[in-house]
Amino acid sequence: MKRVALISVHTSPLAQPGTGDAGGMNVYVWQTALKLAERGIEVEIFTRATSSTDEPSVSAADGVLVRNVVAGPFEGLDKRDLPTQLCAFAAGVLRVEAMYPPGHYDLVHSHYWLSGQVGWLARDRWGVPLVHTAHTLAAVKNASLADGDEAEPALRQVGEQQVVDEADRLVANTEAEAAQLISIHHADPGRVDVATPGADLDTYHPGSRASARAELGLAPDETVLTFVGRIQPLKAPDVLIRAAAPVIDAARGTGRPVRVLIVGGPSGTGLARPTSLIDLAGELGIADAVTFLPPQRPERLAQVYRASDLVVVPSYSESFGLVAIEAQASGVPVLAADVGGLGVAVSDGVTGMLVAGHRIDDWTAALRTALSDPERLARMGVAAATHAQKFSWDHTADQLLESYHRALMSFDIAGGARADRPTPVPTAAQTARTTRRWGRRRSGVRA
């Protein structure tokens, strides 16, 4: 019975996105694991245990097993501390595989550079191909740091280069990210694939704004501007608060007040000042118009989106921007920074607007433009829901399967080692045969 091992060292797919180190990558790993399992592929996800109460393994869904590997203290380790625990984590991963006959896993798929370091070792030990998704690149983040944010260390950049050099296939979120892997890390273009992330379209879809506001305790006559994400300089929630301040002041007494809704928890360098946004709203004199909510589970988050007139994504760097797709799938237009994958996620002028740079005056002007024409904003919301239908996790899983098939073909050609040359693009029939082969193995039937 064959399986895929997904490695996610620094954050569990079962963790609540929006706080700590949990974010879009959690959603990506979880949703793609579910979709792969639906296709008959057993998925085992290796992640670091962060509590003494974590079970060694959790059957999280049909065909999806989460393994909590003990590596270092359960609490108190920041993501930047985890390189010191990679040896312990890798040992835990290898010990699991050693309990089974050779060939227990068909392929390793690592997420983020820390996982890539472990996946590299597992690939060599198990004799299976390594597929790697970076999710973010240190050089890209360092090129667009927020004021006061900390640059990614050289240690990470070296580690990322090593993984790029070793992986059998690299999966990028967009063509732009693929180009960055090639230009920054000199990746072989023939080993780079694109698998565009998506949204859970069963959860995120248009619904009643009035009902959503009633559930969340928001006034029906307000204009609601919403930020969803981790509270840290990289995500730039302060840009929204600063830019919205004059819009809020101008709307006072008009019968259509403006409210900013911030949904998320402190993370990364934002942990040093967990009350910074509350303090900022007070300094700007708009504390009464800013509401803070903790991270929300998907069904509740969908209501947050539906309650909004506009979702704002002002990040300094985004490899894709799942919040933008989820909001649009919910029928809400998005105002986003023109960085990374947000230019793919948002159709500028059709499903929302893109803003170049992070000058507060530019963001204030963009907010005023977006809110000045309610009918146009409503049309954008309708177009957003249609646009988001192109971004489903089923589509992502199909693209991942194509990449897995290429990795397996390359490995077969090289006799168990990577062939350093472009591999053929698999046809739909070939990908289907790969899926059927894994399905038969799962049932105990040899291909």
> Is position 305 annotated in a ligand binding site?
yes
**What DSSP assignment string belongs to 287-318?**
GGGEEEE----HHHHHHHHHT-SEEEE--S--
| Long-range contacts of residues 119-124, Cβ cutoff 8 Å, at least 24 apart | 119/7, 119/163, 119/167, 120/162, 120/163, 120/166, 120/167, 121/90, 121/94, 122/5, 122/7, 122/90, 122/93, 122/94, 122/97, 123/166, 123/168
Tell me how far CA of residue 428 lies from CA of 402, 432, 441, in angstroms.
Answer: 8, 6, 20
> Is position 174 annotated in a ligand binding site?
no
> Is position 112 annotated in a ligand binding site?
yes
> Is position 56 annotated in a ligand binding site?
no
Q: Residue 126's closest CA among 155, 106, 110, 148?
A: 106
CB 195 within 8 A of CB 171: yes
The CB-side HSE value for 99 (13 A sphere, CA atoms) comes to: 5
As a whole number of angstroms, the distance between CA 412 and CA 418 comes to 9
As a whole number of angstroms, the distance between CA 335 and CA 225 comes to 10
> Is position 25 annotated in a ligand binding site?
yes
Tokens of 282: 């007070």
> Is position 203 annotated in a ligand binding site?
no
As a whole number of angstroms, the distance between CA 194 and CA 378 comes to 32
The CB-side HSE value for 425 (13 A sphere, CA atoms) comes to: 7
> Is position 35 annotated in a ligand binding site?
no
> Is position 196 annotated in a ligand binding site?
no
As a whole number of angstroms, the distance between CA 121 and CA 124 comes to 5
> Is position 105 annotated in a ligand binding site?
no
As a whole number of angstroms, the distance between CA 337 and CA 355 comes to 5
Convert 95-114 to b/e letters by CB count within 10 Å (16 or more is b): ebbeeeeeebbbbbbbbbbb
> Is position 67 annotated in a ligand binding site?
no
> Is position 132 annotated in a ligand binding site?
no
Residue 42 forms beta bridges with which residues? 3
Rounded to 5 degrees, φ, ψ at 44 are -120, 125
- Inter-axis angle of helices 298-306 and 322-329, to 10 degrees? 70
> Is position 21 annotated in a ligand binding site?
yes
> Is position 306 annotated in a ligand binding site?
yes
> Is position 318 annotated in a ligand binding site?
yes
> Is position 1 annotated in a ligand binding site?
no
CB 244 within 8 A of CB 369: no
Q: Which residues are annotated as a binding site for Mg(2+)?
A: 305-306, 308
Which residues carry a binding-site annotation for UDP-N-acetyl-alpha-D-glucosamine?
Answer: 16-17, 24, 230, 235, 296, 318, 326
Instruction: Give the residue ranges of the annotated binding site for 1D-myo-inositol 3-phosphate.
Output: 10, 21-26, 79, 112, 136, 156
Binding annotation: 10, 16-17, 21-26, 79, 112, 136, 156, 230, 235, 296, 305-306, 308, 318, 326
